[in-house]
């Protein structure tokens, strides 16, 4: 029943082309229910159904705009981090290498490691502190 921020429409209206009537309106009565005209309702409903494609298209445009605004705001807070050969770094523990018995209290990072070489931005070869190469970049 509440219009969504991203689309500006209610989910019901995007699917069926009209607004839903809440059960409270049916039992207690409302202006819309008291002034109901079945012929006018049928004509209006057909018009809404004819325009539903345009309404859905407008909603998709609003969703894309909302996603762009969200991405722009998120990306404005991201700081680029560059590393040089010889820097000490931590390596993020990936899910398939975590110790299952530690659960949510397991480590998120392992290291420190030394950067051996930079393959391209964001991809590096690492050595442990004993200068042993870590197998994967």
Residue numbers of the domain that contains 52: 11-76
CATH number of the structural domain spanning residue 130: 2.30.30
- Separation CA 9–CA 78 (nearest Å): 32
Quickly tell me which residue has 């700081």 as its tokens: 79
72 and 23 in a single domain? The answer is yes
At residue 25, the pLDDT reads 65
3-state secondary structure at position 59: helix
The pLDDT tens digits of the residues spanning 42-83 come to 888 888 888 888 888 999 999 999 999 999 999 998 888 888
61 and 90 in a single domain? The answer is no
87 and 61 in a single domain? The answer is no
- Separation CA 137–CA 125 (nearest Å): 5
87 and 68 in a single domain? The answer is no
Q: Region 2-9: what's the mean pLDDT?
A: 82
58 and 83 in a single domain? The answer is no
Largest CA distance in the chain: 84
- Separation CA 137–CA 135 (nearest Å): 7
The pLDDT tens digits of the residues spanning 11-45 come to 888 887 777 777 776 677 777 677 778 888 888 88
Q: From the CB of residue 17, how many other CB atoms can be counted at a distance below 10 Å?
A: 19
pTM of the predicted model, to two decimals?
Answer: 0.50
- In order of 64, 75, 80, 102, 109, the CA distances from 71 in angstroms are 10, 6, 16, 34, 26
At residue 67, the pLDDT reads 94
Q: What is the chain's alpha carbon radius of gyration, rounded to the nearest angstrom?
A: 28
């Amino acid at each position: 029943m509440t219009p969504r921020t991203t689309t500006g429409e209610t989910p019901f209206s995007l699917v069926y082309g009209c607004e839903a009537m809440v059960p409270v309106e049916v039992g207690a009565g409302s202006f819309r229910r008291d002034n109901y005209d079945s012929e006018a309702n049928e004509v209006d409903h057909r018009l809404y159904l004819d325009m539903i494609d345009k309404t859905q298209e407008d909603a998709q445009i609003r969703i894309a705009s909302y996603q762009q605004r969200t991405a722009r705001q998120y990306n404005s807070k991201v700081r680029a981090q560059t590393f040089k050969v010889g820097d000490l770094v931590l390596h993020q523990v990936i899910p398939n290498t975590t110790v299952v018995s530690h659960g949510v209290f397991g480590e998120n990072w392992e290291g420190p490691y030394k950067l051996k070489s930079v393959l391209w931005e964001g991809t590096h070869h690492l050595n442990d502190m004993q200068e042993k190469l870590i197998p994967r970049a």
